[in-house]
Amino acid sequence: MTTTDHSQMMKQWQFTKSGSPRDVLTMVEVPIPTTCADDEVLVQISHVSLNSAFAHRLIAYYGVFDPVGAFMGRPGVPEKDFSGIICDLRGANVTEFNIGDRVFGIGPTSFREIAQGVLCEYALVKRDHIVKVPDNISLKDAACFPITGFTAYCFLVEKAKLKKGDKVFINGGSGAVGVMAVQLARTIVGPTGLVVATCSPMKNDIVRNLGADEIIDYTSHVLPDFLREHYGSRPFDVIFDTVGSDHALYSNSPNYLTPSGSTVWLVTKRILQLLSAMVVPVYLGGVPRRHIFESLTPTSSRMVAMAKLVEEGSMKAVIDSTYKFTDVLDAYDRMMSRKVTGKVVIEVNDLDR
Ligand SMILES: NC(=O)c1ccc[n+]([C@@H]2O[C@H](COP(=O)([O-])OP(=O)(O)OC[C@H]3O[C@@H](n4cnc5c(N)ncnc54)[C@H](OP(=O)(O)O)[C@@H]3O)[C@@H](O)[C@H]2O)c1
């Protein structure tokens, strides 16, 4: 553990109770952290990008996700995705980074730290959760990738083993994870493969320009029926679901997914159906298709692999809008408007300049 003696203050957005961001978030002054565990670095934050899960789940239901913290009135700090510059207090075990390195990464992910985020001017972060920003990428763009690019990489490449020539279906192609998944899938499957994605009609052109060959308007079709009708004769190798609202997408998947294919679920709103899908064997009526649903841990090697794809241009930042650090409440209003495509970015202290 390293300790530095300074008493400077920083600004931080906090919440201590459940509610909508506009009702519960406040900006306060707190001391810049002065201790650093051996596997941590202190980062001066340049940009933070918002994740819908924070507004819709963690802040909205703080008492459910962190009952002890909420009961004790321990302040939560929103968001996990950041870019910035390593500025101080390197832990003794950190040898792969130096003060002044431009980095991007993911804030604390342990269950105990679920409500500890990075919407502040300085943050302590684990060395395994960060990676150097490629020279050809700005800090603003870099803040868009940590969770979304990492998620698309881990599930499509590591877990589903998507490959050249494959056919892939991405449900929610206009969301923050979806825009990364569409781009990465396009790169991996190449011109002989097929990328099909859903989105609402006004986002059709954006998703097509990111690399989707075919777009499905989810607002005017019953998805499992549409997929059976149009893709039953050319079934997918991978289904990547970022929406999780319709278990029928999985239970009907034998109609449009190859027998060796995989479905990836990032989220489910039908947890009991999901659990039964995972445990019921095929001979008892289970769905005869592979099913991937898990929480991923950031590691150095995964972060490096994600950063390489970013450097090569396999995933580009899709920025919906940018807000000043003082305008975070407006940024959350925008993110919750459902008009967003890609990322809402907060300029905490633009260190690109
Ligand atoms: N398991 C993990 O490791 C992991 C990691 C990251 C994220 N997640 C989860 O993944 C989910 C997606 O995250 P995100 O940040 O990409 O969310 P997001 O930016 O809010 O995007 C949500 C997407 O869902 C689409 N959508 C909404 N209702 C739909 C429906 N009925 N059918 C088809 N599409 C629909 C929206 O399309 P339109 O905007 O076009 O209407 C939008 O593209 C979140 O629940 C998040 O918590 C999980």
- The 10s digit of each residue's pLDDT in 189-222 is 999 999 999 999 999 999 999 999 999 999 999 9
Using an 8 Å Cβ cutoff, are 79 and 19 in contact?
Answer: no
198 lines ligand 1 (CB under 6 A): yes
148-152, 253-257, 288-292: least confidently modelled range:
288-292
Report d(CA 19, CA 78) in Å as an integer: 13
Using an 8 Å Cβ cutoff, are 325 and 11 in contact?
Answer: yes
245 lines ligand 1 (CB under 6 A): yes
The four Cα atoms 142, 147, 148, 152 give a dihedral, to 10 degrees, of: 120
Which atom of ligand 1 lies closest to the CA of 293?
Answer: 1
pLDDT digits (tens, 9 = 90+) for 74-83: 899 999 999 9
pLDDT at 89 (0 to 100): 67
Per-residue pLDDT, averaged over 167-196, amounts to 97
For residue 5, what pLDDT band results from cuts at 50, 70 and 90? Answer: very low
82-91, 164-173, 215-224: least confidently modelled range:
82-91
- C-alpha of residue 242 to centroid of ligand 1, in Å: 5
CATH number of 148-292: 3.40.50.720
- C-alpha of residue 178 to centroid of ligand 1, in Å: 7
pLDDT at 97 (0 to 100): 93
**Residue in 58, 247, 266 to alter for ligand 1 test, most ligand atoms within 8 A of Cβ:** 266
CATH number of 2-144+318-347: 3.90.180.10
266 lines ligand 1 (CB under 6 A): yes
- C-alpha of residue 203 to centroid of ligand 1, in Å: 14
305 lines ligand 1 (CB under 6 A): no
- With 0-12 / 13-18 / 19 or more C-beta atoms within 10 angstroms meaning exposed / middle / buried, residue 264 is buried
High-pLDDT (> 90) share of the chain, %: 72
- C-alpha of residue 72 to centroid of ligand 1, in Å: 32
Using an 8 Å Cβ cutoff, are 166 and 238 in contact?
Answer: yes
pLDDT, mean over the chain: 92
Placement of tokens 């939560």 in the chain? 76
Q: What are the residue ranges spanned by the domains of the chain?
A: 2-144+318-347, 148-292
pLDDT at 73 (0 to 100): 82
Check residue 254 and report its DSSP letter: G
Nearest CA to ligand 1 atom 2: 266
Per-residue pLDDT for 91 more than 80? no
- C-alpha of residue 221 to centroid of ligand 1, in Å: 18
Using an 8 Å Cβ cutoff, are 196 and 170 in contact?
Answer: yes
Per-residue pLDDT, averaged over 280-293, amounts to 84
For residue 351, what pLDDT band results from cuts at 50, 70 and 90? Answer: very high
- C-alpha of residue 8 to centroid of ligand 1, in Å: 39
Per-residue pLDDT for 88 more than 50? yes
For residue 7, what pLDDT band results from cuts at 50, 70 and 90? Answer: low
Using an 8 Å Cβ cutoff, are 213 and 231 in contact?
Answer: no
Nearest CA to ligand 1 atom 34: 172
Distance from the Cα of residue 291 to its chain's centroid: 20
The four Cα atoms 301, 304, 309, 310 give a dihedral, to 10 degrees, of: 150
Which segment, 58-67, 85-94, 159-168, is predicted with the most confidence on average? 159-168
pLDDT at 90 (0 to 100): 63
Per-residue pLDDT for 308 more than 80? yes
- C-alpha of residue 146 to centroid of ligand 1, in Å: 16
Which atom of ligand 1 lies closest to the CA of 51?
Answer: 15
The residue among 49, 45, 50, 51 whose CA lies nearest residue 10 is 45
For the chain, how many helices (H) and strands (E)? 13, 17
pLDDT digits (tens, 9 = 90+) for 114-146: 889 999 999 999 999 999 999 999 999 999 999
Report d(CA 143, CA 104) in Å as an integer: 6
For residue 2, what pLDDT band results from cuts at 50, 70 and 90? Answer: very low
- C-alpha of residue 50 to centroid of ligand 1, in Å: 13
High-pLDDT (> 70) share of the chain, %: 97
- With 0-12 / 13-18 / 19 or more C-beta atoms within 10 angstroms meaning exposed / middle / buried, residue 352 is middle
Per-residue pLDDT for 100 more than 80? yes
172 lines ligand 1 (CB under 6 A): yes
Diameter over CA atoms, the chain? 67
Report d(CA 87, CA 122) in Å as an integer: 9
